[in-house]
A = this chain, B = another copy of it.
Amino acid sequence: MSAITRDEQTTTVPFSDRLAEAVERKRTQLVVGLDPRVDLLPVELRGEAGRGRAAAAGAVERFCKGIVDAVAPYVVAVKPQVAFFEALGGDGWLALEAVSRYASEAGLLVIADAKRGDIGSTARAYAAAFLEPRGVEPPLADALTVNPYLGTDSIDPYLAACRRYGAGIFCLVRTSNAGAGDLQDAVLSNGEPVWRHVAGLVERWGADLIGERGMSSVGAVVGATVPRLIGDARRSMPQQTILLPGVGAQGATPADVARAFTSGPASALVNASRSVIFAYRDTEDDWRAAAGAEAARLSADIWAAAGW
């Protein structure tokens, strides 16, 4: 059985089905986040990165490709964090394009972590930037993280890309950071926290994008750092694939996220970024070997915890 990649656009297999196929074939729900902080690059690349932004972008590209090679057997997707590429300007963006293409050719899904949110006419441009074919080139990514603050019409262009090109989105619902509660946990007049209201919106946005495996191509981002919330989010959004950041450097464990998987083996994805890509900092190993070993370990732990 071969991977269904985004090069086969004409089939427009829904993102959720492409994801489920890949999870079951590779037996992993791990996503590795590509957060290429220049100051944390291996020393062999860091020197190069000190010679201006173009050189830094080149070092970042080589680093990310090396990570892709190392983790590809153990992950279903990579999640480039767009900010770290944009910090290197136009050269950084070109590196993002090159890394995305490389990951896709390695058979991985690409989730662009950009958390975009803007009014409809602008969201259409972001959809074009991330989720639509670029001339003869395939889309930059298979899926995009988005922000719900501007409401339905700010999400519609991404939903159109999901329908037309088999793309996916993951909408922020309850994030993993310290300040998440400032707005997301504010309590509404019906007693619900803001994040659960957003979960309802996400469910509605994804209602007509349910694939053959029963999951929607409109997923949700729920931080893994508050285990109690994971079960709550799972119940609120039974057909949303939940993307769980926060495992590893942010402190959550594979066991914490187990309850996210009750809707099926591909009903949640666990993301780890720094703990994998910079694993070499805690070992004597080559940076690629260290990342591969950590990804293999995490992937197996999550698969076991998920219980499928």
Contact = CB atoms under 8 A, between A and B. Distances in A.
* Copies of this chain, count: 2
B153 A178 contact: yes
A207 interface: no
A125 interface: yes
A282 interface: no
A53 to B, nearest CB: 7
B149 A177 contact: no
B189 A134 contact: no
Given A115-B116, A150-B177, A201-B183, A125 B86 contact: yes
13 contacts: A37-B121, A84-B125, A89-B140, A90-B93, A90-B94, A93-B93, A115-B116, A115-B118, A120-B179, A148-B182, A150-B175, A150-B183, A151-B183
Nearest to A126: B83
A306 B22 CA distance: 58
A87 interface: yes
B126 A87 contact: yes
A256 interface: no
